[in-house]
Homo-oligomer: A and B are copies of this chain.
Amino acid sequence: MINKFVMPEVIFGSGSINQVGECSIRLGARKVFIVCDPGIVNEDWLEMIIRSCKEVDLDYVVFSNLTVNPKDYEVEEGRRLYLDHECDSVIGLGGGSAIDVAKAIALLSTNKGNIQLYEGIDQIQAPLPPQVMIPTTAGSGSEVSQFSIIIDSVRKKKMTIVSKSLIPDIAIIDPQTLSSKPPSLTAATGLDVLTHAIEAYVSVAATPLTDVQAQNAIALVANHLRPSVASKANLEAKTKMAMASVQAGLAFSNAILGAVHAMSHAVGGRFPFSHGDVNAVLLPHVMEFNLLACPKKFATIATLLGEDSRGLSNIEAARKGIEHIKKLSLDIGAPQSLSQMGLDEENITEMSITALEDACMITNPRDISLSDVERLFRQSL
């Protein structure tokens, strides 16, 4: 079996955000298109980026007209502005939505037609302009991944776009940016990190290079997510969670994901729920279902989470891991069911059909049927 592993240059540490101007110049940029969350416009981070650009005489345009679970028409508007302003590179600042939009605008700035044309794996032809991404959550991992997830507003589905071209040139991870986030967002994004790491670890496309990243990310989440949710000022916990997010991102970018993400994308295409919250609810149910496919790996997950599995069979140890995750999710106040978020029976069959077609389903370790997906959705209600 031949494996591939690709990643961007990573710059990690408190204060690293100030290097963004210099990084863009190094990549040949003269006028950057800054894509950011609307909510972030009033935080210090955007100002720091603009200052960094000014210091190196870099022109810039700011675009923040995007929503959580970003839409095709938002990306289209971004492309028009990028081209109108004759930009030559992209900076993304924010959570996964902002970074996914930044990547999709970079894509459309050099590739013709609408974003739908690029859905799936390796559909991008023309090279993309330089991209520097700065996440402010820990997080989506999008700053290091070859993924961009954009909603098709007509078909009401999340499109998974996968291509090496979507790996940014440079990812700048500054743990300080995490300190301005409320506990509910820290919890949701942190459980998203855990989901990335676990799905990548048990993926059929996992490799030794992705396994080390995934394992480390799982252990970091187990030790540092609770304190990170507990305190905005705990910079050590933020730093560890930022590293977990990067490592989980590297793992899933190269090993892809599984049924949790396929199902979560199907939900997110129809409802404006938090991606991390949906993942958090689905994760234990999907783990229980997948257990059969690789009990040893699931037992290792339990150990990485800090469970003592001496004297237990792999299946028994694995179940302790699943219980651990349920407890973690409760402790940090994440939603415990999809119905609690507002979902009911009505859309389950349609969403299950959509989930089965998602690119992330290909690497799920256990074969899965429509009725399996429907049952998993029902269990999660």
Contacts and interface: CB of A to CB of B under 8 A. Distances in A.
A41 interface: no
Nearest to A28: B127
A306 interface: no
A212 B208 contact: no
Interface string A206-218: 0111001100100
Contact of A10 (B15, B16, B209): B209
A318 to B, nearest CB: 23
Interface of A: 1-7, 9-16, 19, 164, 207-209, 212-213, 216, 243, 246-247
A164 B7 CA distance: 14
13 contacts: A2-B14, A2-B15, A2-B16, A3-B12, A4-B9, A5-B9, A5-B10, A6-B10, A9-B164, A12-B207, A208-B243, A212-B212, A212-B213
Contact of A7 (B1, B7, B208, B212): B7
Q: How many copies of this chain sit in the oligomeric assembly?
A: 2
Interface residues of A: mostly helix, strand, loop or mixed? Answer: mixed
Contacts of A5: 9-10, 12
Nearest to A211: B216
B7 A3 contact: no
Contacts of A164: 9
A5 B4 CA distance: 18
Contacts of A4: 9-12
A11 B6 CA distance: 9
Given A2-B15, A10-B209, 19 more contacts: A1-B13, A2-B11, A2-B12, A2-B13, A2-B16, A2-B19, A3-B10, A3-B12, A3-B13, A4-B9, A4-B10, A4-B11, A5-B12, A6-B9, A9-B164, A12-B209, A208-B216, A209-B246, A209-B247
